[in-house]
A and B are shown apart, each in its own frame.
Chain A
Amino acid sequence: MAGLSITSVKKRFGETEVLKGVTLEIEDAEFVSLVGPSGCGKSTLLRIIAGLEDPTSGDIAIGNETVTGVRAADRNLSMVFQSYALYPHLTVAENIAVPLRMRSLSTSQRLPVIGPFLPGAQNKRADIASAVQHAAEMLEISALLDRKPGQLSGGQRQRVALGRALVREPAAFLLDEPLSNLDAKLRVQTRAEIAQLHRRLNATFIYVTHDQVEAMTMSDRIAVMMDGEILQCDAPSVIYEDPSDIRVAEFIGSPKMNILPVEVRDGALSLFGQSMGRAAEGAQSDVFQLGLRPEALRLAESNPVLTGSVTHVENLGAEVFAQVDLADQTTRVTCRAAPTERHKVRLGASVGLSFDLRDALIFDADGKRQRRFEASLSQPVEAA
């Protein structure tokens, strides 16, 4: 087990720059998710860490030892692939045994007929069999050991792929969207199991996904990647509550964060012409973007900050999300309502919304978070 450090890794494919200098430190036994939309370079980064792809520039180190230029087979990493990549002609037990056979048996000891009778082979083979048995028990697939991958369901194959990864003790586990081929129910279940597995093995996990829910629920830290860069790498709660870039704020959270344009003029913050509060003296006049999570907006019958009509309602049972077209504006916002308020957000109903400015995040026109500006907002809502 070891930590990893990735130092200004760049990767180009021809003219396209896929990774633009990624730097990331991963602690020993940490679970880090690389999350981002398709094509952001997260899988490429994982493959560079694995050694299946060479970086154009930059360095990878595993446990303080630089491995740039070292081939994948010598990096002592395990990987679970999106397609599972199980060997179709081998049984489950043989599939799980492959990494051990390749590493502990010599070429002659692996030979089909005479191999088992060569000196030393018997003991090694027995060790491998018991390691396979142990891994299978951990993943509860002992009953499947004699089957071939073609006879397994998607979830079972996924477990076999995990078994093949954890049968030896690698420096780190790399998982490339391992849940994306599973159905929704199985995905939730396996998600919890992988998180438990991480706690049990106490190993370094690097997990690539495009699903922010997976990243939020399993990780110690999330690295949000976009356009070949890591925008922010922090604990899930920090990423959600305190994003430093508007792209992170918009990507994480479902439904998406509401973004409203706000203006600062002579120190006064105004939203659609309504004064919202005052910034400290000296704040420059500019246009900003106000980010509000759906749960930050609440239905208000008196003194609403925003008004509009409900155009779409999503009832999830425990909560209701209503999309509200703001009156006289082209903007649409999503707000969360409690099930008890469901009658208020019927389709077509007029609703008033208000929010606490302390729940709002303020970004500049380029999308950078303006924490100092937020802190300088002296008055909570004084308007309307």
Chain B
Amino acid sequence: MAVIDSPAIPRKPAQVNRQARTAWGLAGPALALMFLILLVPVLVAGVLSFSNYSLGNSGFDWVGVQNYERLFTRSTYEKMFIATFTYVVTAVPISVGLGLGAALLVHSLGRIGDIYKTVYFLPVMATLLAMAIAWEFMLHPTIGMVNRTLEMACGTWFEVIPFLANGCADGFPLWLGDRDYAIWVVCFIGIWQGFGFNMVLYLAGLTSVHRELYHAAEMDGAKSAWERFRLVTWPALGPTTVFVVTISCIRAFQVFDTIEAFWPQGGGPNKSAYVMMFAIFEKGIQQNLIGIGSAITMLFLLFVMFLTLIQRWLVERKVHY
């Protein structure tokens, strides 16, 4: 606070104290709120993750690192990690790539681009829970639109595709009921729902690319679109990409709505879509095992913190020139 004043003017200690008090007074409400609604719950969760507390119990016992030990030993949680990382590793690159591709295509169009922008952004605006229910109907094994469309290909030359040939012979996949497909369906819906958001972020990034740089690239002999992309567009989109990837990762770790809508009782066939958020919900809320729920939450927080730190590092070191 005192920095604003000229340092040349000597001030009395009383004045300095008064300024400091004002400063604390003004920052106080924000600090208090941050403590109350962010830091205290995190601390409480951290403490509870070392206990066997359940809501409604009058007391609890300290169990040490038992909750964490379970996380890394039990097969349920192994499935949880597999499902979560499968989702993150699939949904993030594809939704970022599609977002970038769509943004480049939309950017190259004139007015028609606005139509595509709206079309791709619609799923972002829709409620994911409602969309999940719609997808559930579409993916129904017998009356769903997806399988009935696939059946139309039976008996045509499309059957050269092994997937369709097998489907026509032995029946098409159960999708949501098949443990080999369940997590991929969730990935697909996550990508379908999320890439429009990335596209909008990339479109914003594209408007800041200096047009004269493309002319310079052309004069320097960059003839193909790929060369111009490598030389001008991609480096200019660096800060956007870091932001988009971080946001997409955090969103991917948070996936919950679709799982809850498809399989309210337990995270997919054979727990193949048992993602972290759903595990927190199931353990902490449905089964009232606050201790283990808190432990998963702390791990979740760790991943998100880690991602944020990487983003900070990249933004400061690599992508700002």
* Residues of A bordering B, CB below 8 Å: 47, 50-52, 71-74, 77-79, 81-83, 85-90, 98-99, 102-103, 107, 148-150, 164
Judge if B220 is at the interface, Cβ distance under 8 Å: yes
Which of B213, B223, B236 is A73 in contact with, Cβ under 8 Å? B223
The answer to whether residues A85 and B321 also contact, given A98-B231, A102-B222 and a CB cut-off of 8 A, is no
Q: How many residues of B contact A (CB 8 A)?
A: 19
The answer to whether residues A81 and B216 also contact, given A87-B231, A98-B231 and a CB cut-off of 8 A, is yes
Cβ-defined contact, B223 with A85, below 8 A: no
Q: How far does the alpha carbon of A101 sit from the alpha carbon of B220 in the complex, in Å?
A: 9
Cβ-defined contact, A164 with B210, below 8 A: no
B-side contacts of A149, CB under 8 Å: 321
Cβ-defined contact, A164 with B321, below 8 A: no
Q: Name the residue among A77, A98, A149 with the largest chain B CB count within 10 angstroms.
A: A98
B-side contacts of A71, CB under 8 Å: 218, 223
What's the nearest-Cβ distance from chain B to residue A278, in Å?
58
Closest B residue to A51 using CB positions? B218
Judge if B227 is at the interface, Cβ distance under 8 Å: yes
Cβ-defined contact, A88 with B321, below 8 A: yes
Judge if B123 is at the interface, Cβ distance under 8 Å: no
A-side contacts of B216, CB under 8 Å: 79, 81, 85-87
Contact with A along B203-237 (1 / 0, CB 8 A): 00000001011011111111100010001100110
Q: How far does the alpha carbon of A83 sit from the alpha carbon of B217 in the complex, in Å?
A: 14
What's the nearest-Cβ distance from chain A to residue B174, in Å?
44
A81-B215, A83-B210, A87-B216 are known; give 15 further A-B pairs, CB within 8 A.
A50-B219, A73-B218, A73-B220, A73-B221, A73-B222, A73-B223, A78-B219, A85-B210, A85-B215, A102-B220, A102-B221, A102-B222, A102-B227, A103-B221, A148-B321
A-side contacts of B236, CB under 8 Å: 88
Closest B residue to A161 using CB positions? B216
Closest A residue to B215 using CB positions? A52
What's the nearest-Cβ distance from chain B to residue A104, in Å?
9
What's the nearest-Cβ distance from chain B to residue A260, in Å?
44
Q: How far does the alpha carbon of A77 sit from the alpha carbon of B218 in the complex, in Å?
A: 10
The 7 A-B pairs of least Cβ separation, nearest first, read: A102-B221, A85-B216, A89-B235, A88-B321, A99-B220, A85-B212, A72-B218
Judge if B238 is at the interface, Cβ distance under 8 Å: yes
Q: How far does the alpha carbon of A51 sit from the alpha carbon of B221 in the complex, in Å?
A: 12
Cβ-defined contact, B321 with A79, below 8 A: no
Cβ-defined contact, A89 with B321, below 8 A: yes
Closest A residue to B227 using CB positions? A102
What's the nearest-Cβ distance from chain B to residue A204, in Å?
15
Q: How far does the alpha carbon of A148 sit from the alpha carbon of B221 in the complex, in Å?
A: 21
Q: How far does the alpha carbon of A103 sit from the alpha carbon of B210 in the complex, in Å?
A: 23
What's the nearest-Cβ distance from chain B to residue A205, in Å?
15
Q: How far does the alpha carbon of A79 sit from the alpha carbon of B219 in the complex, in Å?
A: 7
Q: How far does the alpha carbon of A186 sit from the alpha carbon of B107 in the complex, in Å?
A: 39
Closest B residue to A89 using CB positions? B235
Cβ-defined contact, B212 with A83, below 8 A: yes
Q: Name the residue among B212, B213, B216, B235 with the largest chain A CB count within 10 angstroms.
A: B216
What's the nearest-Cβ distance from chain A to residue B31, in Å?
36
Which of A50, A98, A150 is B321 in contact with, Cβ under 8 Å? A150
Cβ-defined contact, A87 with B213, below 8 A: yes
What's the nearest-Cβ distance from chain A to residue B90, in Å?
26
What's the nearest-Cβ distance from chain B to residue A46, in Å?
11
A-side contacts of B232, CB under 8 Å: 87
